[in-house]
Chain A
Amino acid sequence: MDHLDRYRRIIPDYPLFCEAMIQPLPVCVRINSLKTSADDLMSRLDKARLSYRRLGWYRWGLRLNGIRPGLLIEHLMGHIHPQEESSMIPPLVLDPQPGEKVLDLCASPGSKTTQIAQMMENDGILVANDPSPGRIVALRANCERLGAANVAVTRYDGRAFPRYEFDRILVDAPCSGEGMARKDLTVLKRCNLKRSMGLQRLQQALLGRAVDLTRQGGVIVYSTCTYAPEENEAVVESVLDRVRLIDVDIPGLARSRGLDAWDGNIFGELMGRCARYYPHHNDTGGFFVAKLIKR
């Protein structure tokens, strides 16, 4: 937890944040609309006398009480997918439409990929890329189980993804993962400034390539599950000459604004259009989300 002390001045109600960080994460699932409806799924849970609560901000999200979702028959049938609540935010901000050409540049293990596929109603093209053969195993398994028929999996280095024009691109970048520490506090042991600066180079290259690959007027969403401004605002800043920033604000979900400055670097007021999601505000993991339109 000591590592997080560097954020004392930027995270509102810091003591509450620290308290939330040591609480276990609520168990969440996403209902897979490619195979079932919310009503059908919930009536099955009711019949089995399982306890759950619908998310206020997202109609396909449920919090389960005292249930391991992987053991449910609905998991095997591909009707639900275990997914941390805040991880459902970036696809919603991306807002993909049926028939579009969409790229998920850092796709494994495919939670957001399959969420995008269901938003596209299995129509159009969704390219799900990941460079790691090992991680692609999980990505493919999730796409199959959830019935995503518009997904084509590729295995490129995202920084050198081949030329193309996409309507929308999600860059859910590799990051230090501080926001997932509620799942596993040992994540924080690996976090330090040097590592964040190393990741920043990769993240800037991935986001830069994503801007190259987006059509004019197309949408890019950059997200991480870390609090480190080096991996968030500083990465978005690197493409600001080529994009417009759009305000990220999801009704029903409390957010903090992106930082206008950090550690002597001035990002500017516009960076406030990015959203920072903190554990103590919505009882979720932590996330950073930026929405960009290519000029």
Chain B
Amino acid sequence: MILEDSLSQSSLNADFKLIDRDLIADLWHSRFGMPPDAFQSFSFYRKARMIWMFSEAMLPPFRLETAGLRIMSMRKGPWKPTTYALQLLGRYATKNVVSLDEDGARMFIAGGTFEIEADLEEGYVIATFEGQVLGCALYSRGRLISQLPKERRRPDDP
């Protein structure tokens, strides 16, 4: 413990790299039309492919398992928002939001794929039900593919 106390914050959590807030706000603005204000009170860290959103610019000086919420993953193709980030921030979105009816919501929660008519750009979109965000879906060629994390899915029941 004494050794750990003397370590600097940077060497403790060297795998979390602080990244520019504007960079994140721009990505979310261009995909979902969110105002930059939505990100104002948070700082962003990259660890491997994931971007983490944390309340403070300084990480506390401990060996961290997590730092706030994983909000998106950076990959070769388009970046992917997490369902949990959309549930928290999705209410600020002004585009690429799809409102599902009861059947659609049921299929989304079951982790299904279904045809849909909606004004959406190809790629990741925000699925909502009765004005509340359910989570992330992939829109491709007129079909919506649920991206709900597997541990949250429920088999199709009424």
Tell me the A residues contacting B by CB distance below 8 Å. 34-36, 44, 71, 73, 76-79, 101, 122-125, 127, 136, 140-141, 143-145, 147-156, 160, 162-164
Q: What class of interface size applies to chain B in its complex with A?
A: 35 or more
A11–B105 CA distance with the chains assembled, in angstroms: 50
Q: Are A141 and B55 neighbours in the complex by a CB distance under 8 Å?
A: no
- The 8 A CB mask of B1-24 against A (1 = contact, 0 = none) is 100110000000000000000000
CA distance A183 to B129 in the complex (A): 34
A101 surroundings in chain B (CB, below 8 A): 60
Q: Which residues of A contact B54 (CB under 8 A)?
A: 149-150, 152
Report the Cα distance A163→B105, complex, angstroms: 48
Give the Cβ gap from A103 to chain B, nearest Cβ, in Å.
Answer: 9
20 A-B pairs (CB sep. < 8 Å): A35-B88, A73-B134, A77-B87, A77-B134, A123-B41, A140-B65, A144-B69, A144-B70, A147-B84, A148-B69, A149-B42, A149-B53, A149-B69, A152-B60, A152-B65, A152-B68, A154-B64, A155-B65, A162-B1, A164-B61
Q: Are B5 and A163 in contact (CB under 8 A)?
A: yes
| Contact call B65/A73, Cβ cutoff below 8 A | no
Q: How far is the CA of A144 from the CA of B66 in the complex (A)?
A: 10
Q: Could you tell me if B55 and A150 are in contact, using CB atoms closer than 8 angstroms?
A: yes
B114 within 8 A of A: no
Instruction: Please state if B130 and A44 are interface contacts (CB–CB under 8 Å).
Output: yes
Contact assessment for A154 and B63 in the assembled complex, using a CB-CB cutoff below 8 Å:
yes
Residue pair B62, A156 in contact (C-beta under 8 Å)? yes
For A129, give the chain B residue with the smallest CB separation.
B62
Cα-based distance from A160 to B1 in the complex (angstroms): 7
Chain A residues with CB below 8 A from B152, complex form: 76, 145
A96 to chain B, nearest CB (A): 13
- Tell me if A151 and B68 are in contact (CB < 8 A): yes
Given contacts A124-B56, A164-B60, contact A154 B129 (CB under 8 A): no
Q: Is B109 an interface residue (CB 8 A)?
A: yes
State whether B56 touches A147 (Cβ < 8 A): no
Contact partners of A125 in chain B: CB under 8 A: 55-56, 60
CB contact between B66 and one of A122, A124, A153, A164 (< 8 Å): that residue: A153
- The reply to whether B84 and A145 form a contact with Cβ atoms under 8 Å apart is yes
Within the complex, what minimum Cβ distance (angstroms) separates A278 from chain B?
36
User: Do A136 and B65 touch (CB < 8 A)?
Assistant: yes
Chain A nearest CB from B101 CB (Å) reads: 13
